[in-house]
Amino acid sequence: MHLLVTGGAGFIGSNFIKYILEETDWQVTNLDKLTYAGNLENLADIQDNTHYKFVRGDIADNQAVNNLFSGNKFTAVVNFAAESHVDRSIQDASPFINANIAGTQVLLDASLKYKIDRFLQVSTDEVYGSLEDDGFFTEDTTLAPNSPYSASKASADLLCRAYYKTHGLPVLITRCSNNFGPYQFPEKLIPLVVSNAIEDKPIPVYGSGINIRDWIYVLDHCAGIKCVLERGVPGEVYNIGGDTQIHNIELIKMILSVVNKSDSLITYVKDRPGHDHRYAIDPQKIKSQLGWNLQYNFKSALIKTVKWYIDNQDWWNKVKSGEYINYYQKWYGIIK
Ligand SMILES: NC(=O)c1ccc[n+]([C@@H]2O[C@H](COP(=O)([O-])OP(=O)(O)OC[C@H]3O[C@@H](n4cnc5c(N)ncnc54)[C@H](O)[C@@H]3O)[C@@H](O)[C@H]2O)c1
């Protein structure tokens, strides 16, 4: 098996590549543009692994992608590469349209041309929109994205479906809930809370913090992707979720208690426009049809993750500089 992983220098992609190299003898090529969110330090411990190769490039660059496919015999593609932060998509949607939609189309065309055996699109539960206080997203829930980010991911999902229906490309789609774990860019909730708490900076909380997310440890997501890649039925969608729904404010308080900091750091800010109230995944299909199950307990994985950020301050100190500071200041306006 020679896997092309795109976006492998980001949070989930880097965890996935390391997971695959540990679990299999597959060859992995990582194609990543190294945007602000891509960081080769995430992969420093495997850079000399003979089963692994890094290629810098843009999935939306047709020529570069075709050159890569023609020079390699890829068996399967796992597409993580994306602009992934909702707040940034509210500021400017165009990079999302380019990477998430046009980039996916370029990869689909190359996969068709070079007769790839499996194309797995890593999607998100955010394509389903928002839930009220009860119910779950199933694979049959209507797509109703509310942010430019989730609309771009939903568009990519529809393109994937169309390439399966029209061209017979063996496409699989996974839609996962919110991930947490090491190497997540510190603009995202959990690393943002830990790093701000360590630095005694205010912790911005949208609205009153009552939004609910369904959290999953990143390695459970990675195992789900591998499971769908190996055993999923082409043309099908598989939801992956952590069975752990928590109000944002409750999660933030849990983190503050692990870091041993006071709740007084919490600073309520104006709510995000179009902020989804609640996500909750029903993962019965992947469990019953493919035999996937959660391996990690939420609380202990959360504590382990918070400790990772405490022990790896060098990693996020470097990341939390330059372009990120400008973005953060502009968006929240409360940096110290
Ligand atoms: N983080 C979550 O909770 C979550 C949940 C469900 C699904 N997802 C999906 O998983 C994927 C990965 O998410 P993440 O949180 O690791 O994101 P991330 O922002 O940490 O990483 C994205 C990676 O993609 C790369 N990239 C961006 N545009 C590119 C392009 N045009 N060409 C090549 N590389 C490009 C970046 O350099 C970066 O390395 C995304 O598709 C996202 O929609 C994320």
From residue 278, alpha-carbon distances to 124, 133, 162, 204 in Å are 14, 7, 29, 19
**pLDDT (tens place) for every residue of the chain, 336 residues total:** 999 999 999 999 999 999 999 999 999 999 999 999 999 999 999 999 999 999 999 999 999 999 999 999 999 999 999 999 999 999 999 999 999 999 999 999 999 999 999 999 999 999 999 999 899 999 999 999 999 999 999 999 999 999 999 999 999 999 999 999 999 999 899 999 999 999 999 999 999 999 999 999 999 999 999 999 999 999 999 999 999 999 999 999 999 999 999 999 999 999 999 999 999 999 999 999 999 999 999 999 999 999 999 999 999 998 887 565 566 567 666 543
Which pLDDT value is given to residue 214? 96
Cβ atoms within 10 Å, residue 95: 17
Order of strands, edge to edge, in the sheet holding 178-180?
Answer: 178-180, 212-217, 245-247
**Is there a catalytic annotation at residue 125?**
yes
Tell me, in angstroms, the distance from the centre of ligand 1 to residue 82's CA.
4
Q: What is the mean pLDDT of the chain?
A: 95
**Is there a catalytic annotation at residue 22?**
no
Which pLDDT value is given to residue 321? 74
- Assigned token pair, 6: 């795109």
Catalytic one among 83, 125, 187, 276? 125
**Ligand 1 atom nearest to 185, measured from its CA:** 20
Q: 86: helix, coil or strand?
A: helix
**Is there a catalytic annotation at residue 230?**
no
Catalytic one among 32, 58, 83, 126? 126
Q: Does the Cβ of 154 fall within 6 Å of ligand 1?
A: no
Cα 88-89-94 angle, rounded to 5 deg: 115
Q: Does the Cβ of 213 fall within 6 Å of ligand 1?
A: no
Q: Does the Cβ of 32 fall within 6 Å of ligand 1?
A: yes
Instruction: Give CA–CA dist 110/211, Å, rounded.
Output: 39
Tell me, in angstroms, the distance from the centre of ligand 1 to residue 260's CA.
31
Residue position matching structure tokens 């029209």: 166
Domains of the chain, with CATH numbers? Answer: 2-180+216-240 (3.40.50.720)
DSSP assignment of 168-221: ---EEEEEE-EEESTT--TTSHHHHHHHHHHTT--EEEETTS--EEEEEEHHHH
Tell me, in angstroms, the distance from the centre of ligand 1 to residue 84's CA.
5
Q: Does the Cβ of 99 fall within 6 Å of ligand 1?
A: yes
Which pLDDT value is given to residue 318? 86
Tell me, in angstroms, the distance from the centre of ligand 1 to residue 310's CA.
23
Q: Does the Cβ of 195 fall within 6 Å of ligand 1?
A: no
Tell me, in angstroms, the distance from the centre of ligand 1 to residue 128's CA.
18
From residue 230, alpha-carbon distances to 70, 277, 284 in Å are 24, 34, 18
Instruction: Give CA–CA dist 216/286, Å, rounded.
Output: 15
Report which protein residue has its CA nearest ligand 1's atom 36.
38
Catalytic one among 149, 206, 279, 309? 149
Instruction: Please give the DSSP secondary-structure letter assigned to residue 224.
Output: H
Please tell me the pTM assigned to this model: 0.96
Counting ligand 1 atoms within 8 A of each CB, the residue from 4, 5, 12 with the most, and so the one to mutate, is 12
Order of strands, edge to edge, in the sheet holding 2-6?
Answer: 52-56, 27-32, 2-6, 76-79, 118-124, 171-176, 237-240
